[in-house]
Amino acid sequence: MRALAALVCTVACLTSSLAAVDEALVLAAARAASGEYQVRFQTLANGLQAADEADRLTSLRGLGSLQDPKVVPVIVPWLLQSVRSREELVLAATILGRLGLPGPAPQLRHLAASEDPEVRKAAVSALHQINSMGAGDYMLRAKEEDDILRLNALAALGHLSHAEAAEALVQGLGHEKALIRQAACIGLGRLGDQANGEKLKIALTDPDPMVRRYAAEAVARLGYKPAIPDLFMALEANVAGDYILRAVRSMTGEDFGFDPHAPLLKRQEAIERAFQWLTAHPVN
């Protein structure tokens, strides 16, 4: 019992001590910390006006590390006050994106139109992070010379189901990079407009196997029946045969006994059956 009483007394003393700390030391420390923070914040903000670029970048990084929404109205006017270097623009866009606030979207769109591809990448990434990329932004990026920006934009345009995106995606079918052509096929399939079926038919003869694959998948996704004969011819070529066969099954409900891994003669017999089926089931 004595031990229990001592324990109760100790707990009571500790509680009393903690209460005193809460009312005095903690609040005082919070006020001091707030004051220190304000001094640091202002020092970093003032550092953006330094004559030396390295000093400005250091201050900019410091502001970014604060993760404080209040840095937005500091950084945005600073961006517009003078001609900034690539490093300053990229770092500023990166910080604004990480904060995740929609306010600086207009300034980021301005940076996304920069002549410098690194600045454009940083600005586009930031717009993604603050969920401020719209169809118009993607369409501009779809005409980029930079492959990464163009590839991302083409893929995103398909997700948007935005009718005007078709023009940019169709242009992407003729790009010299296979990855861009693949993204264009995927996007056109996602748009869901059969009017793009004729363009996708041409991609079934693309020299890149994966472009053929995604063109076939897009045609099947659109349910574009006039492409069925082209699918049969693509199947006969047996480039990306497994994927083409899957599209054929989706469009016709048949595989005609075609096996991409079978000998040539067996594959030709299956293709003959496919065209016989086509004679009995003409498509418009």
102-114 pLDDT, tens per residue? 888 888 878 877 7
- Tokens encoding 25: 């030391």
Q: Which of 199, 268, 210, 275 is nearest to 244 (CA)?
A: 210
pLDDT value at position 231?
A: 96
pLDDT band at 133 (very low <50, low <70, confident <90, very high): low
pLDDT value at position 264?
A: 94
pLDDT value at position 268?
A: 95
- Tokens encoding 279: 């004679």
> What is the CB-side half-sphere exposure of residue 283 using CA atoms within 13 A?
16
pLDDT value at position 3?
A: 47
- Residue 170: pLDDT over 80: yes
Task: Express each pLDDT in 222-247 by its tens digit.
Answer: 999 999 999 999 999 999 999 999 99
213 close to 243: Cβ distance less than 8 angstroms: yes
Percentage with pLDDT > 90 across the chain:
43
266 close to 259: Cβ distance less than 8 angstroms: yes
Q: In this predicted model, which residue has the larger pLDDT, 220 or 70?
A: 220
- Residue 159: pLDDT over 70: no
pLDDT band at 43 (very low <50, low <70, confident <90, very high): very high
- Residue 116: pLDDT over 80: yes
pLDDT band at 123 (very low <50, low <70, confident <90, very high): confident
- Calpha distance 67→94 (Å, rounded): 12
Candidate ranges 46-55, 61-70, 78-87, 123-132; pick with highest mean pLDDT: 46-55
Task: Express each pLDDT in 22-41 by its tens digit.
Answer: 455 665 555 556 677 788 88
pLDDT band at 17 (very low <50, low <70, confident <90, very high): very low
- Tokens encoding 242: 């497994």
- Mean pLDDT, rounded, for 73-91: 89
Letter for the amino acid at 71?
V
Name the one residue in this structure whose structure tokens are 């707030």. 34
Name the one residue in this structure whose structure tokens are 């996602």. 190
- Calpha distance 52→180 (Å, rounded): 41
The chain-wide mean pLDDT, for the chain, equals: 80
Q: Which of 72-76, 155-159, 193-197, 238-242 has the lowest mean pLDDT?
A: 155-159
- Is the domain spanning 48-133 CATH 1.10.3470? The answer is no
pLDDT value at position 5?
A: 47
pLDDT value at position 21?
A: 45
Task: Express each pLDDT in 134-156 by its tens digit.
Answer: 545 545 555 555 565 555 555 55
Distance of CA 190 to CAs 130, 214, 215, Å?
Answer: 24, 11, 11
Q: In this predicted model, which residue has the larger pLDDT, 2 or 77?
A: 77
